Amino acid sequence: MIQLKGVVKEYGNAKNKEVTRAVDGIDLEINQGEFIALLGPSGCGKTTTLMMIAGLLKATKGEILFDGKVVNQMEPKDRNIGMVFQSYALYPHLKVIDNIAFPLREKKVPKAEAYEKAKNIAKKLQIENLLNRKPAQLSGGQQQRVAMARALVKEPQILLLDEPMSNLDARLKLDLRDEIRKLQREIGVTTIIVTHDQEEALAISDRVAVLDAGKIQQYDTPYNLYHKPKNLFIANFLGTPPMNIVEGHVEEQDGRQVFAAEGVRYMLPQNREVAKEHIGCRVAIGLRPNDIRICESTENTIPVRIELVEQLGAEQLIKAKPLAGDHIIRIVAENEMKLKAGETVSIRILENKFHLFNLERNGINILS
């Protein structure tokens, strides 16, 4: 088990004594054999966190524990980690086979055994026909496999992957993703992947830690992240096309609660009403484009005018504006519906699929 307790990393700038906090108090627990992802926008501290786990950077504050033992002072070489870098970082002067055997040779594994193991792992990753090439003679995808093999050959306790697929084309990415997942299951190595590709993170990992500004915003299963976002940041960050966020407030009317915003009035279902303290606060409603239906005008629907219809292939994306408002609402609709720009239609919000965030309390989700 890997534990991070209140880990902080500050980068000093010797010239003007300025300090930047790249990681700002992270708590994280990763179980044996688990596959987790660190996900977040560029510069949020993902790589920094990974490097601290690898021991390549020293934490400014906080503790990192492997199986209950504090490892803050342990050298990277003693941590038994396999790491794949974004650039792959293959040793350019060594042939592929020597690259893969390198970690074993450093561990003083006898030559014959080291090369035997290197060949086995190469076979597993389908690169046994490349063993005598130099890294410069490989394609990106092949280099990635070699890097993977080199990380796995020493049977590490932890596998760290820093954006391992960001240099590959979309198709190859998908294949490799499944392969990595399969391999990880097979070997059972605890794995942390850093990525800014949310689809990749959600698809590949058991749990995802979403980072922003050096802090973990939510650490949860992919399902919960998508369906039960803890706050507005998570809701906004995950999902394509992105969630619709409409700012307004909740008010009481005839004993029922109503979400009201410019051009939008939506009576909350009785089983999903908010606590009294949120009434009158600045509140945003979050609606996934897939959770809105276009329908006949009936009770509790919102009239909108279609501004734009975009083909997504399997479905169509509608951009519409409430008749009495000026914000765009994105709606995903089936291709069978014949919709045209300029048309006025009504939309219905799926009763158990909307979220409310209190903007006066850091956008916390007040319905979950």
Partner 1 sequence: MSKKILKLLVVHTYMAMLTVPILFMIVWYFMTATFNSYTGSFSLDNFAFMFGPIESMGIKLPAIWPIVLNTLVYSFTIVMIEVLISVPAAYAFSRLDFKGKRNAMKFLFIMRSFPGVTLIIATFFILVKMNLVDTYLGIILVAITGSLPGHVYIMKGFFDEVPWDLEWAAMTDGCSRFRAFRKVILPAVKPGIGAIAIFSFLGAYGEWFLFKLLIFSDTRLIIGGYIAKLITEENVIVDYGLISALGLFYTLPVILFYIFSQKIFMKVNIGGSKGV
Ligand X SMILES: Nc1ncnc2c1ncn2[C@@H]1O[C@H](COP(=O)(O)OP(=O)(O)OP(=O)(O)O)[C@@H](O)[C@H]1O
Name the site residues for Mg ion (rule: CB under 5 A).
Answer: 47
What's the closest the beta carbon of residue 58 comes to partner 1, in angstroms? 13
x/- binding map, residues 154-193, to partner 1, per CB under 8 A? Answer: x-----x------x--------------------------
- The partner in contact with residue 48, picked from partner 1, Mg ion, ligand X, none with C-beta cut-offs of 5 to 8 angstroms by kind, is ligand X
Asked whether 33 and 42 are in contact (CB, 8 A), the reply is no
Which tokens in the block code for residue 199? 């689809």
- Judged by CB under 8 A, the chain residues 61 through 100 that form the site for partner 1 are 75-77, 79, 81-83, 85-93
Is 270 a binder of ligand X (CB under 6 A)? no
x/- binding map, residues 9-48, to ligand X, per CB under 6 A? Answer: --x--------x-x-----------------x-xxxxxxx
- The partner in contact with residue 6, picked from partner 1, Mg ion, ligand X, none with C-beta cut-offs of 5 to 8 angstroms by kind, is none
* Closest residue by Cα to residue 358 from 367, 348, 346, 349: 367
Residues 6+ apart with CB under 8 A from 336: none
- Judged by CB under 6 A, the chain residues 175 through 204 that form the site for ligand X are 196
- The partner in contact with residue 43, picked from Mg ion, ligand X, partner 1, none with C-beta cut-offs of 5 to 8 angstroms by kind, is ligand X
- How far apart CA 327 and CA 65 sit, in angstroms, is 48
* Closest residue by Cα to residue 347 from 296, 285, 273: 296
Q: Cα–chain-centroid distance for residue 365?
A: 19
DSSP-assigned states of every residue in 131-185: TTS-GGGS-HHHHHHHHHHHHHTT--SEEEEESTTTTS-HHHHHHHHHHHHHHHH
Q: Would you say 14 or 112 has its CB closer to partner 1?
A: 14
What's the closest the beta carbon of residue 113 comes to Mg ion, in angstroms? 35
Intra-chain end-to-end CA distance of the chain, in Å:
29
* Closest residue by Cα to residue 207 from 358, 2, 368: 2
Q: Would you say 40 or 286 has its CB closer to ligand X?
A: 40
Binding site for partner 1 (CB under 8 A): 14-15, 51, 54-56, 75-77, 79, 81-83, 85-93, 102-103, 106-107, 134-136, 138, 140, 143, 150, 154, 160, 167
